[in-house]
Structure 1
Amino acid sequence: MAAEDQTPSTKPRPDKAKKRKKPKRDKWGQPIAATAAEEPSVEPEQEHPAGEVEAAVQVEKAEEEVAAAAAEGYEPGKVVASGLPYTTTEADIRKLFEFYGPLQSVQLSRFPDSGNFRGLAFICFESEEDAIKSLELDGFKIGSRYMRVERCRVTATSNKKRKAEFQTDPKKSEGCLSAYVGNLSWNVTEKDLRGFFRSSKIASVRFAIDKRTGGSRGFCHIDFQDDESLEKAVGMNQSELQGRPVKVAYSVQ
């Protein structure tokens, strides 16, 4: 009988163990050692300050915009403004474009012979998004001129071509009867050019057209009927047409 009386006293022990497990399932009860050890490993993963999350999203978005611009053949965050008055200063350009966002740099294109501003500027923004917003300035009137603003393309051939056209005058090739005419106002017509070169016999005028807008790109090639007409035209290099000194050089064949 004594042994039987002792048996019930040993059975409740598993119940006590079960009672100790209850706090594990109750987050709001008294924490036990096991729960206290688990909680710190979970809490840091759940805590993400709003500022850090937003910054991460912005960085990811910026990287996507830069990648998209590069894929489309544009320089990320960079636009080119042309058709500006020659009296425009870098400070004027900065003030105009900083309205859309912080700038990294502003580069003014100048005539190699005189060093004067030639109405063309390259503006680099800190973000691609701000650069795209600044395209709203396309057609903006400054003084008596309407500015053109477009994204800056990246092509090795166009860079080489620009150097050939604006930095050094190409030599006349054998049989050449054509001339490159650049730095033209956007609204210059064939009639204007024929009047400008009235002392030369013109066979045809070929304007460079912007595929995106359908407008003039500010330069053309003119075919002349004879060598004398070509020489007269090239001799008019830097003569003024509609307030702009026109670049005239032998056409590159």
Structure 2
Amino acid sequence: MAAEDQAPRAPANPDKTKKRKKPKKDKWGQPIAAAAEEPAAQQVHETPEEPAADAEEAGERSESYECGKVVASGMPYTTTEEEIRGLFDKFGPIRSLQLSRFPDSGNFRGLAFVTFESDEVAMKSLELDGHKMGNRFMRVERCRMTASSKRQKKSEHQSDPEKPEGCLSAYVGNLSWNITEKDLRDFFKSSRVASIRFAVDKRTGDSRGFCHVDFEDDESLEKAVGMNQSELRGRPVKIAYAIINRA
């Protein structure tokens, strides 16, 4: 009997020999109930994938482009404005064409911005992407909207000033820096222009990119305002009634 009493005994419950996990506590030192932990765990392991895809699509939609405008790059430096127009005008009427030039020499740098009358026409012109010009391949893509163009678009949506009583003057903006009075008189050749007043920087004497044009009669003014967003030297010109009439 003594020998039997000395025989080693197996543990009654092997699971009780395992080390118990310490209960989780919150930041105040109180134990967290197991029932409260389960939903959190489920939330971690059951994260849906669809919202991520939706967020990606939302990011693509937030990418903003200028309506009807494309940018063409990679062209030979010898390309002329006529050649560029010949390539793009087969897709539809061109509203404006801006050639980027080197500031020191004024020579074409192989980059141009083409604005069409509609976004549909602009999308068709993307067919020219990869078109070979000389020994180079041109790249054509939609023109992304810059911060300045977003501000301009916002201002365009704002209502133009109403015509003041007795007004015979028009505000003309978005002009090229080297625009001349002759250019403007030719531009408004269907109207009777009385005078042109350029806005200049008082310190440097340089043009500020806009002017006021005084007309001889109301009919001439109305014709001029009707030319709003018409192209002058590759730029769509902003034309509206002048707030202050000095005529």
Common topology (TM > 0.5) = no
TM-score, length of structure 1 as denominator length: 0.35
Higher relative contact order (CA 8 A, sep 6+): 2
